[in-house]
Amino acid sequence: MSNFGDKAATLVQDISQSEKGTIPPYNDELVRAVVDESNEHHRSILRLIGDIQEQGTSLDAAAPEDAAAILVHHQAVLRNKRALLVYLNERADRVRALRWEVGTALPEDLGESLSHSERGYFQQYSALVNRYQGRRGGVGINITLDPTPPKEHKVQVRVLQERGELVTRDGTVDLAKNTVHLLWRDEAQPLITEGVVEMVV
């Protein structure tokens, strides 16, 4: 057995060094190794206790070196557990964030880097969000569109490319080059993504 807790630390490092918003492939091998290591610690503890009891002394009166050994193994298990939870929790956070970014459908390449249970988690979380957004029993709007609520419902845009007339809720707008318009946010959004107009503050 190498140094106690090394593998668990690698696991945490992996997830913390990966870029925010991405999900690195689920490191099944290492997780398993950490669990194995913890089991090994557990066995060591049991063995140590067995040794002490064999000698006929009570646990309370064990030699200090034996007691210390048990404690070290115990702490190593706690540490591994904590590291595993950190790893899984961070991944769970990112999986949830995924629902807000990509919507209900999990992209193929991302799905592959999730573990089986993480995929299940995503489905269930997605269902929850859908129910909240739904018309029946929910708020009835798509809350994932604008994660930060917009200050104003209209935006000012400057036209970069000649686009002719556009029919909006407020009437017809002539999108001539180098003109500025105040449009509804949802009507302007596609034009902004297309690059026909740019937002002006």
Partner 1 sequence: MLVERDKFRFAYDELRQDSRECPVLVYVSTADVDSCAAFSILKTMMRSDGIPFSAYPVGGYQELQNLGERLPKDGKNRSIVLINCGGTEDVVTLLGLPEGTRVFVFDSHRPLNLENTRADNRDVLVLRDEKEGEEHFPEPDSDYGEDDSSDDDSSDDDDSSDEEESEADEDEDGDKENSSGGNEGDANDDDERAAKRRRKAEKAERRATRNRIAYYSRGSFYGRAAGLLMYDIAHDTHKDSLEKHLPLWLAIVALTDQYVHQRLSHESYTAGVMELATQVSNLPGADAPTSRVLDEGVVVRAFEDRRIQYAEEFRFSMLRHWSLYEAMLHSPYVATRMQTWRDVGRQAMNSLLTHIGLPLEVCKQQYSHMSPTHVKMLGEKLEEHGGSHGLTDLKFWSFSFSHGFKVKLAASDVVHGVTALLEGLPSTTGADEDAEGDDGEGGGGGGAAFWRAVNALGMTRSDEMSAGLGHAMRAQRALMRQGGLALANKAVIRTVGGLRYFSLLDHGSPADLPYFKHPLSLRRLALFLQDALRTVKKIERPLVVVGPCVEAEKGMAMVVGVTGKPVNDDTAGGNHFAHSFRRAAEHIRAKFRHDSFEASVLTVSERNLGEFMESLSDFDAERLARERMAAA
CB of 190 to partner 1, least distance (A): 17
Decide whether 61 or 167 has the Cβ nearer to partner 1.
167
String of contacts with partner 1 for each residue 96-135, x by CB under 8 A: ----------------------------------------
CB of 185 to partner 1, least distance (A): 11
Closest CA to 153 of 161, 145, 163, 162: 145
Decide whether 71 or 182 has the Cβ nearer to partner 1.
182
Decide whether 106 or 183 has the Cβ nearer to partner 1.
183
String of contacts with partner 1 for each residue 148-187, x by CB under 8 A: ----xxx-x-x---------x-xxxxx-xxxxxxxxx---
CB of 186 to partner 1, least distance (A): 13
Phi–psi pair at 141, nearest 5 degrees: -135, 155
Site residue total, partner 1 (CB under 8 A): 22
Name residue, tokens 């318009």.
181
Decide whether 34 or 173 has the Cβ nearer to partner 1.
173
Name residue, tokens 């569109």.
145
Burial of residue 30 (CB within 10 Å: 0-12, 13-18, 19+) is middle
CB of 84 to partner 1, least distance (A): 48
Decide whether 85 or 199 has the Cβ nearer to partner 1.
199
Side chain identity at 175, as an amino acid letter? L
Whole-angstrom distance between the N-terminal and C-terminal Cα of the chain?
A: 61
Phi–psi pair at 56, nearest 5 degrees: 90, 5
Phi–psi pair at 87, nearest 5 degrees: -60, -50
Alpha helices in the chain (DSSP H): 6-17, 28-54, 64-102, 108-112, 116-133, 185-194
Decide whether 1 or 201 has the Cβ nearer to partner 1.
201
Interacting residue ranges for partner 1, rule: CB under 8 A: 152-154, 156, 158, 168, 170-174, 176-184, 200-201
